[in-house]
Amino acid sequence: MARATAALLAALSAEPTEPLRGTGIGTRIYQGRACVAATVGDALEQLQPGDVLVAPFPGPAYNSILPMLGALVVEVGGAMSHAAIMAREFDKPAVVGAAGATTRVPDGALVEVDPTRASVHVVSV
């Protein structure tokens, strides 16, 4: 039982090796610090210029902070979602529709957003 519990805990705490997948917006690959934010208030408190915002669904309330982002990762949405349109408008690399991003990407981790491959990879924690 102790070995099984240890194996389960090790599996749960392991870094994800498979990148997150979604719909890529843009053509530039970007690496930066992940800022995982459930609300616009969380984002305003935590974001630093150049960060990668990882959020469930940033709507119009996030528009004022988009210019300071390095990239955007969103759990919900597609090529015509508000997040995708704003990423194109501000020329920010993005991956939208990356289900599970807010739970799989650790806050503060170095992440690579690759819109050409429609993937998000945790580089280091």
Residue 39 in domain? yes
pLDDT, one tens digit per residue, over 41-90 is: 999 999 999 999 999 988 888 888 999 999 999 999 999 999 999 999 99
pLDDT, one tens digit per residue, over 1-31 is: 656 565 545 555 545 568 899 999 999 999 9
CB neighbour list of residue 32: distance below 8 Å, 6 or more residues apart = 50, 51, 52, 70, 71, 110, 111, 113
Residue 99 in domain? yes
Residue with tokens 């050409």: 116
Task: Map residue 13 onto helix, strand or coil.
Answer: helix
Residue 107 in domain? yes
Residue 38 in domain? yes
Q: Is the dihedral of CA 103, 107, 109, 115 positive or negative?
A: positive
Is residue 121 among the annotated active site residues? no
pLDDT value, residue 9: 52
Whether the pLDDT of residue 117 is over 70: the answer is yes
Confidence of residue 122 (pLDDT cuts 50, 70, 90): very high
Residue 91: strand pairing partners: none
pLDDT value, residue 59: 82
Residue 96 in contact with residue 113, Cβ under 8 Å? no
**Total number of domains in the chain:** 1
Could you write out the DSSP letters of every residue in 15-53? PP-SPEE-EEESS--EEEEEEE-SSHHHHHHH--TT-EE
User: Could you say which DSSP state residue 19 is in?
Assistant: P
> Which residue in 16, 46, 56, 82 is the catalytic one?
82
Residue 1 in domain? no
Residue 49 in domain? yes
Residue 12 in domain? no
Task: Give the residue numbers spanning the domain of 86.
Answer: 18-124
Residue 58 in domain? yes
CATH number at residue 67: 3.50.30.10
